[in-house]
Amino acid sequence: MTNEDISKIKELLDTPKKIVIVPHKGPDGDAMGSTLALKLLLENRHHYVQLIAPNDYPEFLKWLPYSEEVINYEKEQEKSNEYIAEADVIFTLDFNHLSRAGEMKEALETAKADFIMIDHHQQPDDYAVVTYSDVTMCSTSQMVYHFIHNIGLEDHINAQIATCLYTGIMTDTGSFRYRSTTSLTHRVIADLIERGADNTNIHENVYDTNSYSRLQLLGVALQNLKVVEGLRTAYIVLSQEELDHHNFKKGDTEGFVNYGLSLSGIVFAAIFIENRADNIIKISLRSKGTFSVNDFARKHFQGGGHINAAGGKSDLNLAETIAKFISILPDYKTSLSI
């Protein structure tokens, strides 16, 4: 962050303000961890804060401190629109394009508030008065940690805030294994533990709370795993019937795409999940090395993300989407074949 940005934020937050904080649609651990941490910090500094999520978030995050105070825009649209219209400041976290806020986009576009963006995705839009964007960061949660330091409020990071930030960093780094995990990330994590984040508890709360039906669904996903010979690619398909049959709940398929990438020799993995309610196929993409799934998602599947983790969607049906995917792959032969 520049000194100018820091002064602007200090000035904006100098007196109690009406603040709205927004994570991206389909919020993940980093989106919820970063927004909840910021909400707790700003409330402790006497601001009036509403955290409004575009839609619901996974069960495995609902133990997070104060998560019961999150407003779901899909369920409380009218009330949310009022908060957005009346806000002095709106923070958008873990996304950088208002379309990623789903149905909230319109209300955000017409808001009179000053926007502050904190995000680590590629190609940020320019809707904010302060854009704190850093694509080298492993997570928005680590950025919120630095943001808090930059505005001189680090002594206000209590155990609950530390827990939220730890959770966001842990989930977005695949438990501290992805390339974006640096020595600085580990220093931040060490400080969060010292401030009261209980690492063992957090890992158990997120990763050891599977339902039986989710593990059965993982079994189906692994049965459906296919390898594209000669192109170091693996993909999984899950139909609506398969999801229904295993009592699918939001978040149940989180992490499934990584199994494709765990196959020896595979550098590109995808999962295609049918969503009949929204009439789309939701796609998650992962890669190893230099193959950019961000570019791939942007070019072919209305999405984006990072070099090694991105997502998108398709309006074709499941079979057509897979056929499209398979037909595109040979265009990437130089980067995908050995």
Helix, strand, coil distribution of the chain in percent, nearest 5: 45, 20, 35
- Residue number, 241 or 278, with CB nearest to ligand 5GP: 278
119 counts as binding Mn ion under rule CB under 5 A: no
- Residue number, 54 or 311, with CB nearest to ligand 5GP: 311
Indicate the DSSP class of residue 156.
Answer: G
Task: Kindly give the pairing relationship between strand 71-72 and strand 268-275.
Answer: unpaired
Binder to Mn ion among 20, 40, 94, 195 (CB under 5 A)?
94
For residues 95 to 124, the per-residue mask of contacts with ligand 5GP, x marking binding by CB under 6 A and - elsewhere, is -----x--------------------x---
Query: Cβ distance 146 to 181 under 8 Å?
Result: no
CB of 67 to ligand 5GP, least distance (A): 19
Q: Which stretch binds Mn ion (CB under 5 A): 94-102, 155-163, 259-267, 325-333?
A: 94-102
Query: Cβ distance 206 to 239 under 8 Å?
Result: no
310 counts as binding ligand 5GP under rule CB under 6 A: yes
Q: Which stretch binds ligand 5GP (CB under 6 A): 59-67, 192-200, 218-226, 300-308?
A: 300-308
CB of 118 to ligand 5GP, least distance (A): 14
Q: What is the dihedral of CA 25, 31, 34, 40, to 10 degrees?
A: 50
Give ∠ CA 103-105-111 in degrees, rounded to 5: 130
Q: Choose the one of Mn ion, ligand 5GP, none that binds residue 306, judging by a C-beta under 5 to 8 angstroms depending on kind.
A: ligand 5GP
Span 27-46, contacts to Mn ion by CB under 5 A: 30
Task: Kindly give the pairing relationship between strand 130-133 and strand 71-72.
Answer: unpaired
Binder to ligand 5GP among 150, 284, 308, 321 (CB under 6 A)?
284
Using DSSP's 3-state secondary structure scheme, residue 39 falls into: helix
Q: Choose the one of ligand 5GP, Mn ion, none that binds residue 131, judging by a C-beta under 5 to 8 angstroms depending on kind.
A: none
273 counts as binding ligand 5GP under rule CB under 6 A: no
303 counts as binding ligand 5GP under rule CB under 6 A: yes
Binder to Mn ion among 13, 116, 161, 172 (CB under 5 A)?
172
- Residue number, 141 or 160, with CB nearest to ligand 5GP: 141
Q: Where are the alpha helices (DSSP H) in the chain?
A: 3-12, 29-44, 77-86, 105-109, 140-150, 159-172, 183-194, 199-207, 212-223, 240-245, 257-261, 293-300, 318-328, 333-336
Q: Which two tokens stand for residue 1?
A: 């962050």
Which residues, 6 or more positions from 18, have their beta carbon under 8 angstroms from its beta carbon? Answer: 47, 48, 83, 86, 87, 88, 89
CB of 231 to Mn ion, least distance (A): 28
Which residues, 6 or more positions from 80, have their beta carbon under 8 angstroms from its beta carbon? Answer: 50, 52, 71, 73, 104, 107
Q: Choose the one of Mn ion, ligand 5GP, none that binds residue 25, judging by a C-beta under 5 to 8 angstroms depending on kind.
A: none
Binder to ligand 5GP among 312, 314, 322, 325 (CB under 6 A)?
312
For residues 143 to 182, the per-residue mask of contacts with ligand 5GP, x marking binding by CB under 6 A and - elsewhere, is ----------------------------------------
311 counts as binding ligand 5GP under rule CB under 6 A: yes
d(CA 221, CA 325): 18
28 closest CA partner among 6, 4, 59:
59
Q: Which stretch binds ligand 5GP (CB under 6 A): 58-66, 200-208, 260-268, 301-309?
A: 301-309
d(CA 39, CA 67): 10
Other Cβ atoms less than 10 A from the Cβ of 287: the count is 25
Q: Which residues bind ligand 5GP (CB under 6 A)?
A: 24, 28, 100, 121, 284, 303-306, 309-313
Q: Which residues bind Mn ion (CB under 5 A)?
A: 30, 94, 140, 172
